[in-house]
Amino acid sequence: MNQIGYTALLLAVMLAAYGAVMPVVGARLGRRDLIQSGLHSAYALAAVVGVAAVVLWIAMMTRDYSNYYVWQYTSNDLNGFYTFSAFWAGNAGSLLLWLLLLAGFSATVVYQNRVKNRELVPYVVSVLMVVSLFFGLLLVAFEGSNPFEANPMGSPAQGNGLNPMLENPGMVIHPVATYLGYVGFAVPFAFAMAALITKRLGDFWIRSTRRWTLAGWFFLTIGNLVGAWWAYVTLGWGGFWAWDPVENASFMPWLTGTAFLHSVMIQEKKDMLKVWNIVLIIMTFTLTIFGTFLTRSGIINSVHSFGQASVGPYFIAFMALTLVFSLNLLFSRLDLLKSRNELDSLLSRESSFLMNNLLLVGMAGTVLWGVLWPILSEAITGDKQTVGPPFFDTVIRPIGLVFMFLTGICPLIAWRRATFANLSKNFMYPGGTAAVVLVALLAFGMTHVWALIAFTLSAFVLGTIFMEFARGTLVRREMTGDNIFKAFTSLVRRNKRRYGGYIVHAGVILFLIGVTGHYSFQEKAQNVQLAKGEAVTVGDYTVTYEEFSSFNTDEKSVGQAVFRLEEDGKFLGTAEPVREFYFAKDQPWTRVDRHSTLLRDVYVSLMEYEAPDGATITVDVSVNPLTSWLWIGGIVATLGGLIALWPDRREERRLAARYERQARLHEV
């Protein structure tokens, strides 16, 4: 089995090399047959990588412990669901997943463009194949990166087993979604490079990749959200985001990808920001590679501690090559990228989009600065310094609030030059709503300044979104005579991208309401020792230690404490956190329990207990206000993203018409 898998990977490397070279050679020589052969290698690549992946999955399902990777991450008692996801539990499998997704996407690009974009596609595929080649080489050439390595222990009867922290539905989704996002951005990057190479620098590359960009953003968003949810429900420290280097790794491309997603609209509508868009997609793509590098190289300690140092230098070399190649190409084409329109007024949609872009890139830049500071400070001063969550909080909070404000402004402010009439028409009611919310919060005695600003801005933005839906629906009802509900659905259906986008905005705001509540008003009691019958009080909540049970199995010892939760003396329910200890892996695992409502979570984790009867225990208890809104916001944003992504016939027809016009233009 190992042989088959490894051979498939070797074939994949050869096919990627062929596909990287042949389409370009064909395009340069004007040989259609060579181009076709090169493009078809994308299908072959997808097939052989698919074979490699299936072989690995079969080896995992059949517990073929002669495969070292299988031995490392599965064991006889692992259930089918997590056996499936053990595929990407380690370094080698994660790299294979990258390659699998990239090969699949490349084949899809070739298929989608089999009759269109003839000039661009050879270069697009060549760029994608170079990326595939890089990942393919990592997989076959490095010890510890090859998922088909033979087990040095031969073929043991039992495997080492999956890390219990990864036995969670979140860890099935998070890596795949994050990688789908990363790889999704490779497609617009490849189109941008192809546009530069072929000097076809209209908005064609952007329109052709609009869906890829949206999909990449959509999946990266889900990946980040699920990662945060997983951290919250499994890590047991009461938070969902720790500015861990690897969290930052997937946050940075999300920031620049968000900027790209928005600024391409300006190019589509106004033919502006052409250079900026290419810079953004170069940044985003490089950051996806950087993100993979941070996770895989083990350069910085973090919760993703399975990194491996030996592939690090190659990642750096690949990123450097990518930057040198793409920026050099961009500079050589600068004269072809002149905008046809100029920015006019600071009070306009163009400039508010530009400002939103600057803030996003500024946030990405400061996060990058923080991540790299240990390395930079050592290089500059000779002393290594590091920054933690307070640094990121200090920087991101104010920028994030301005960004929130712009989320309300951008979609509604007039193009080119906003007039007073336009501003008052769009922003009077939302502004009024925000003022009412502010007064109400002050009246309730809220004094936390950041929270007051954040909640007021949230009300403002949600107000603008509501107005947009209401106004559109009423106009539509007037026009068609339909009832409100029908008018509303057809409004959304007729402009999915726009209204889907608004729903995403609403989701983001709900998420930020959760962030604000959690960070501003969290109350904690840490390291509390309790004997049975004793209680700890956090805010209005009393947590009483009532019972304890423990048992051992062959693989682990399990201790569970039962707590009685009360709010102002009123019984709420029980919390039953667990602490397990896995003998074979010599690893403890804390399973938190929480009592969750829309207003707050009571979050209890059992940190240690006196075996076997739990006469005394140590617990961490926190009350996390509004934390549920993180996940509600996430679900709303996901739904909005789905609406924006939903296939749209009218949009397809419009695009097809443009392709035809373009094609005719080139024939003339």
Partner 1 sequence: MHMGNKRTKFVIGGFVILAAIASLGWYAMSQNAVYYYEVAEVMDRGAADNVRVAGTLVNGTIEKGQVGDPLKFKIHDKADEAQVLYVTYTGAVPDTFTDEPDVEVVVEGNYSGSGTFDANFLLAKCPSKYEAAAENGEQAPSDKQ
| Interface residues toward partner 1, by CB under 8 A | 2-3, 6, 68, 72, 143, 146, 148-150, 152-153, 160, 165, 236-237, 301, 305-306, 342-344, 346, 351, 354-355, 358-359, 362-363, 365-366, 369, 373-374, 377, 383-388, 390-392, 394-395, 398-399, 526-527, 529, 585-590, 607-610, 616-618, 620
In the complex with partner 1, the residue whose CB is nearer, 48 or 437, is 48
Nearest partner of 548 among 604, 620, 617, 619, judged by Cα? 617
In the complex with partner 1, the residue whose CB is nearer, 58 or 376, is 376
Nearest partner of 541 among 471, 601, 463, 480, judged by Cα? 601
**Closest separation between CB of residue 579 and partner 1, Å?**
10
**Closest separation between CB of residue 531 and partner 1, Å?**
9
In the complex with partner 1, the residue whose CB is nearer, 7 or 638, is 7
Q: Compute the chain's Rg from CA coordinates.
A: 27
SS3 letters for 195-207? HHHHCCCCCHHHH
Nearest partner of 256 among 328, 362, 176, judged by Cα? 362
**Closest separation between CB of residue 47 and partner 1, Å?**
22
In the complex with partner 1, the residue whose CB is nearer, 235 or 319, is 235
In the complex with partner 1, the residue whose CB is nearer, 31 or 374, is 374
**Closest separation between CB of residue 66 and partner 1, Å?**
10
Token output for 165: 């922290």
| Preceding amide of 122 cis, omega within 30 | no
561 φ, ψ to 5°? -110, 145
Cβ contacts of 328 within 8 Å, gap of 6 or more:
none
**Closest separation between CB of residue 589 and partner 1, Å?**
6
In the complex with partner 1, the residue whose CB is nearer, 25 or 150, is 150
| Cα–Cα distance, 466 to 447 (Å, whole number) | 28
**Closest separation between CB of residue 386 and partner 1, Å?**
4
In the complex with partner 1, the residue whose CB is nearer, 124 or 354, is 354
**Are the CB atoms for 230 and 222 separated by under 8 Å?**
no
**Closest separation between CB of residue 584 and partner 1, Å?**
9
User: In sequence order, what DSSP letters do the residues of 484-549 get, joined into one string?
Assistant: HHHHHHHHHHHTHHHHHHHHHHHHHHHHHHHHHHHHHH-EEEEEEEEETT-EEEETTEEEEEEEEE
**Closest separation between CB of residue 509 and partner 1, Å?**
22
**Closest separation between CB of residue 140 and partner 1, Å?**
9
Cα→Cα distances 456→404, 413, 440, 470, Å: 10, 19, 10, 21
**Closest separation between CB of residue 629 and partner 1, Å?**
26
C-alpha angle with apex 470: 466 to 472, nearest 5 degrees?
Answer: 120
In the complex with partner 1, the residue whose CB is nearer, 1 or 21, is 1
Residue 222, CB-side half-sphere exposure with 13 Å CA sphere: 24
Cβ contacts of 203 within 8 Å, gap of 6 or more:
264, 267, 268, 271
| Cα–Cα distance, 594 to 564 (Å, whole number) | 12
**Are the CB atoms for 412 and 424 separated by under 8 Å?**
no
**Are the CB atoms for 565 and 595 separated by under 8 Å?**
yes
**Closest separation between CB of residue 374 and partner 1, Å?**
6
In the complex with partner 1, the residue whose CB is nearer, 390 or 533, is 390
**Are the CB atoms for 221 and 638 separated by under 8 Å?**
yes
**Closest separation between CB of residue 384 and partner 1, Å?**
4
In the complex with partner 1, the residue whose CB is nearer, 358 or 446, is 358
| Cα–Cα distance, 87 to 57 (Å, whole number) | 7
| Cα–Cα distance, 208 to 211 (Å, whole number) | 8
What b/e sequence results for 303-312 when a residue is b if at least 16 CB atoms lie within 10 Å of its CB, and e otherwise?
Answer: ebebbbeebb
C-alpha angle with apex 206: 201 to 210, nearest 5 degrees?
Answer: 170
**Closest separation between CB of residue 117 and partner 1, Å?**
33
| Cα–Cα distance, 321 to 317 (Å, whole number) | 6
Q: Tokens 């072809």 sit at which residue?
A: 336
In the complex with partner 1, the residue whose CB is nearer, 190 or 300, is 300
In the complex with partner 1, the residue whose CB is nearer, 25 or 414, is 414
**Closest separation between CB of residue 358 and partner 1, Å?**
5
| Cα–Cα distance, 315 to 308 (Å, whole number) | 12
In the complex with partner 1, the residue whose CB is nearer, 391 or 429, is 391
In the complex with partner 1, the residue whose CB is nearer, 391 or 659, is 391
Q: Tokens 């712009």 sit at which residue?
A: 406
Chain-centroid distance of CA 58 in Å reads: 29
In the complex with partner 1, the residue whose CB is nearer, 306 or 469, is 306
**Closest separation between CB of residue 305 and partner 1, Å?**
5
